[in-house]
């Protein structure tokens, strides 16, 4: 007779995601995960596999929750350029309000695990691709509606925004007083003609 699980795998995955997000992959040991999750090591291995497999599942959980929100915000009704500006402003406000500061799990993964972790690299690129496509669509609509100059390249501009946002996350983790982030956000508004 099969034993029933003595823990909630969804909650355990959420807790593992949070721990990896706070500490990073290398600084989180299996002992840390066992202690934080309150789950026996054997149960963790049986449910999620090794630490790397659990990390990838936690990263998947993170992107499954965040990426659709990004797409929704950038495809909202109304001015597409205003949607992009609002998204960048919200992104910046999130960085400024982060008291820990944890950054973004996708960006943290890129900084800590790449190159060398091909499976993590696929997930990072997929998340950034989602952001790029959503931004390109919004900026293409903005161009079609006359909110951007006719010679604008929505895809190149979207790629610029992707790189800008990922850089903000890195700087936000390293600069506790955040003047770099605040000044960069102020300058960004000039790029999009705010």
**Tens digit of each residue's pLDDT (9 = 90 or more) over 90-139:** 999 999 898 888 899 999 999 999 999 999 999 999 999 999 999 999 99
Structure tokens at 157: 């501009």
Higher pLDDT, 52 or 182: 52
Pairwise CA distance, residues 124 & 118, whole Å: 10
Non-local (6+) Cβ contacts of 166 within 8 A are 104, 107, 110, 128
Q: What pLDDT is recorded for position 141?
A: 97
Residue-wise pLDDT for 53-83, tens only, equals 999 999 999 999 999 999 999 999 999 999 9
pLDDT tier for residue 176 given thresholds of 50, 70 and 90: low
Nearest residue to 34 via CA among 21, 26, 23, 45: 45
Structure tokens at 36: 């934080």
Q: Given a cut of 60, is residue 1 above it in pLDDT?
A: no
Pairwise CA distance, residues 37 & 20, whole Å: 12
Non-local (6+) Cβ contacts of 132 within 8 A are 155, 158, 159, 162
pLDDT tier for residue 5 given thresholds of 50, 70 and 90: low
Question: Angle 154-174/105-113 helices, nearest 10 degrees?
Answer: 80
DSSP codes, 69-120: HHHHHHT-SS-HHHHHHHHHHHHHHHHHH-SS----HHHHHHHHHTTT-HHH
Pairwise CA distance, residues 194 & 192, whole Å: 6
Handedness of CA 124, 126, 129, 131 (dihedral sign): negative
Percent of the chain at pLDDT > 90 equals: 84
Report the mean per-residue pLDDT for the chain: 93
Q: What pLDDT is recorded for position 68?
A: 97
Nearest residue to 114 via CA among 129, 103, 124: 124
| Domain residue spans of the chain | 58-191
Pairwise CA distance, residues 152 & 139, whole Å: 9
Q: What pLDDT is recorded for position 194?
A: 53
CATH class of 58-191: mainly alpha
């Amino acid at each position: 007779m099969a034993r029933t699980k003595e823990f909630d795998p969804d909650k355990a995955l959420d807790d593992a995601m949070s721990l990896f997000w706070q500490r990073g992959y290398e600084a989180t040991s299996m002992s840390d995960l066992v202690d934080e999750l309150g789950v026996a090591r054997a149960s963790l291995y049986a449910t999620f596999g090794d630490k790397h497999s659990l990390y990838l599942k936690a990263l998947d959980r993170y992107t499954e929750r965040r990426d659709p929100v990004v797409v929704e915000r950038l495809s909202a009704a109304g001015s597409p350029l205003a949607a992009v500006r609002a998204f960048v402003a919200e992104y910046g406000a999130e960085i400024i309000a982060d008291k820990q500061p944890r950054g973004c799990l996708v960006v943290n993964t890129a900084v800590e695990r790449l190159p060398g972790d091909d499976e993590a690299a696929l997930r990072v690129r997929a998340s950034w691709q989602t952001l790029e496509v959503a931004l390109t669509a919004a900026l293409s609509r903005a161009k079609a509606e006359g909110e951007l100059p006719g010679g604008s390249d929505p895809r190149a501009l979207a790629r610029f925004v992707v790189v800008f946002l990922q850089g903000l996350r890195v700087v936000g983790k390293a600069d506790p007083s955040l003047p770099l982030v605040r000044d960069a956000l102020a300058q960004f508004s000039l790029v999009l003609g705010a």
